[in-house]
Amino acid sequence: MRSKIVKNLFFAGEVLDLDGPTGGYNLQICWSTGYAAGTWAAKKQ
């Protein structure tokens, strides 16, 4: 979820292009990856 090229750039939600077992738009993936990226980024500041 963190860019290896650009410092302090994180990816979350639909930009990750993940498919869940339900297919299509998966809200849980969006919420979970957004929370994880935000929490990690806040700790790095």
Q: What is the pLDDT of residues 1-45, one digit of tens each?
A: 778 899 878 777 666 666 666 665 677 777 888 888 888 888 866
Q: What pLDDT is attached to residue 23? A: 61
Q: What values do phi and psi take at 26, rounded to 5?
A: -115, 100
Is the whole model's pTM more than 0.75, yes or no? no
Q: What values do phi and psi take at 22, rounded to 5?
A: -85, -15
10 to 20, 21, 23: CA distances (angstroms)? 21, 24, 24
Asked if 36 and 11 count as a contact pair (C-beta separation under 8 A), the reply is no
Q: What pLDDT is attached to residue 20? A: 65
How far is 14 from 11, CA to CA, in rounded Å? 9
